[in-house]
Amino acid sequence: MKDKTSVLIIDDSAFMRKSLSLMLESDPSISVVGTARNGLEGYEQTIKLKPDIITLDIEMPVMDGLTALKKIMANCPTSVIMVSSLTSEGADATLKALELGAVDFIPKEMSYVSVNISQIRNDLIFKVKEIAKQKQLTERLNRIRTINYKPQTVLRTTNVLKDLPMIGYRAISLGISTGGPFTLQRILPMLSKNLPVPIFIVQHMPPKFTKSLADRLNGLCQLEVKEAESGESVRPGVIYIAPGGMHMKIKSNGINNLLVNITKEPSDTLHRPSVDVMMNSVNEFYGKYNLGVIMTGMGKDGLEGIKNLKSLGGYSIAQNEETSVVYGMPKAIVDAGLADVVLPAEKISELINRVVLNGK
């Protein structure tokens, strides 16, 4: 195993190249092995240097970031973190990049000097190290399979459950982060159009990005997908995505109807939107009939929400390590013994369809 994670920075801004280099190399386990001023130069450097991770700007001269990403993924697949502007156009381009194979993104505005520079640096370093760790796991599993050794089965379960009981679920709450947009595009279109329950999703993303994500998913799915709006009625068969920068809760209107509540409170959470805040709110109204799902992402957001759900007699699904872009959020659930079933991403929709539809 290499001592350091190698990073290539591709950006037309000299200031950005210098800033990202200084941030990354402040960690002794990361080495910036090269920089490039445009997509073509970056592609050539990727072929030559074969870095572990690339940070890639989108708008550049000579060759833009999306074109470079396509060439990199076709000829020298590498873990790529996009550097994205916090605009509607930047959101659309970033989601396209994630479809093409980029694993994550950092908002470009957050990369400039600011009072939060320490947090920005820590987040970037954490992402690089976690993505590199997951990449090493994948490469190790691929080597094992190449020599015809059968590793531990991908379809694992915890505790004693091989399936979930059909108790009549009335809601689904799903938490996801790094690797989420690509993963959601794989699993949500497979959900049955006949699912008679609302689905609440927290995907850690900035404002504007969640609206673009919801619109893209709505065009792919049999169910309606929308960015949640405060005050709207909770309807069965609708997938609500929490807006970036805001928490999503639900509340009663006093006449047996539930409404979406979009709020900045609590203001002291690590993430906004927060999986824990959303899931605890759904737990409050649906109790054990809320089915909790935790998928790819860094950190442990969702752990408290699942713990609360389990205390009410509910059930949970965690994505497995092999199909997670980063095995952080689901790992927290599994390590705490709170996951009833652990599945690869592509099996989660199948399980939801079966237990929700047949349990009605």
- From the list 205, 283, 186, the residue with the least C-alpha distance to 245 is 205
Rounded distance, CA 330 to CA 240, Å? 21
- Find the catalytic residue in 177, 316, 324, 349: 177
Helical pair 180-187 and 88-100, crossing angle rounded to 10 deg: 70
Residue with tokens 């200031």: 15
Active-site residue among 301, 316, 324, 340? 301
Residue 171 Cα distances to 70, 201, 243, angstroms: 38, 11, 19
Q: Is 173 a catalytic residue?
A: no
**CA angle in degrees (0–180, nearest 5) for 54-100-129:** 35
Residues 267, 126, 156, 188, Cα dihedral to 10°: 60
In sequence order, the 6+-apart residues with CB closer than 8 A to the CB of 268 are: none
Closest of 248, 166, 243, 184 to residue 208, by C-alpha: 243
Q: Which helix (H) or strand (E) holds 214?
A: helix 209-220
271 part of the active site: no
From 204, 212, 316, 340, active-site residue: 204
Find how far residue 212's CA is from the centre of its chain: 15
Q: Name 106's Cβ contacts closer than 8 Å, sequence gap at least 6.
A: 55, 81, 82, 83, 84, 123, 124, 127
Q: Is the dihedral of CA 46, 49, 50, 54 positive or negative?
A: negative
Kindly list the distances between the CA atom of residue 119 and the CA atoms of 88, 107, 272, 294, in Å, as whole numbers in the listed order: 24, 13, 15, 25
Per the annotation, the verdict on 204 as an active-site residue is yes
Closest by CA position to 349, among listed 199, 186, 223:
186
Active site residues: 177, 204, 301
